[in-house]
Amino acid sequence: MSIRKKIIIILGIGIIIAGIIVVMMFFKPHRDVQNTATDFRYKASEIVNEYLADADKANNKYLDEEGNSKILEIEGMVAQISEDFNHQKVILLKSTTDKAGVSCTFTQNTNSHTTSIKTGDIIIVKGVIRSGATFDEDLDMYENIILEKCDIITQ
C-alpha cells in the first residue's frame, strides 16, 4: 500500500472520530441545575468577600476538576434588575456596603419567576458560577460574580 493511501485512510479515520465526538457533545444532555441538590448556600456578601480574598482558593472550592461549578444558593438584596441581549432577566444581588455583588442570569424557562421581584427585595437564587468577583486594576473597579442558569428559590 502506498504512503498516500495510508495518509488518506488515517485522515479518514481521524475525521470520523472527530465527527463522532462532535455529535456526542452536541447531544449531551444539559445540566438540570434546578433539580440538582445544592452544594453550598451563602449570603451574597460572603461569597463575594471569599472571591476577593483569594480567587484561586474559591475556584478550587466551587469548581470541580473539569471546571464545572457546584450548585449554589445565594441570598441577597436585589440592587438592580435588567435584561441581557438574549432577553434573559439579570438580577444583581448586592448591598450598599459591598464592593461587588452577584449578577444572576435567568433562563428563558425561569424568566417568568422574576416578574414579582423588585429592587430592595431579599431573595434566594439558585444557580452555577460562571466567573468569580475580581478587582480590575485597569478599570479601577470591582467585577461581580456571575451566576447563570438561575431561578428564584424563595422571595
Q: How do residues 98-130 score in pLDDT, each as one tens digit?
A: 888 999 999 888 888 888 899 999 999 999 988
Both 145 and 90 in a single domain? yes
**Structural domains in the chain (count):** 2
Mean pLDDT of the chain: 86
147 pairs with which residues across the strands?
104, 129
Within a domain: 35: no
Q: Which pLDDT band, with edges at 50, 70 and 90, does 29 fall under?
A: low
Kindly state the DSSP code that residue 68 receives in the 8-state scheme. P
d(CA 115, CA 154): 13
Both 80 and 147 in a single domain? yes
Q: Which pLDDT band, with edges at 50, 70 and 90, does 136 fall under?
A: confident
Domain range for 83: 40-154
Both 26 and 46 in a single domain? no
Both 17 and 45 in a single domain? no
pLDDT at 95 over 90: no
List of residues 6+ apart from 112 with CB closer than 8 A = none
CA distances to 11, 18, 79, 98, 135 from 118, rounded to whole Å, are 58, 48, 9, 19, 28
Res 55: pLDDT: 87
Decide if 76 contacts 119 (C-beta within 8 A).
no
Q: CATH number for the domain including 44?
A: 2.40.50.140
Within a domain: 61: yes
pLDDT at 30 over 80: no
Decide if 91 contacts 104 (C-beta within 8 A).
yes
Res 77: pLDDT: 94
Q: What tens digit of pLDDT does each residue of 53-83 get? A: 888 898 888 887 777 888 899 999 999 999 8
Both 82 and 44 in a single domain? yes
Res 155: pLDDT: 47
Q: What tens digit of pLDDT does each residue of 41-50 get? A: 999 999 999 9
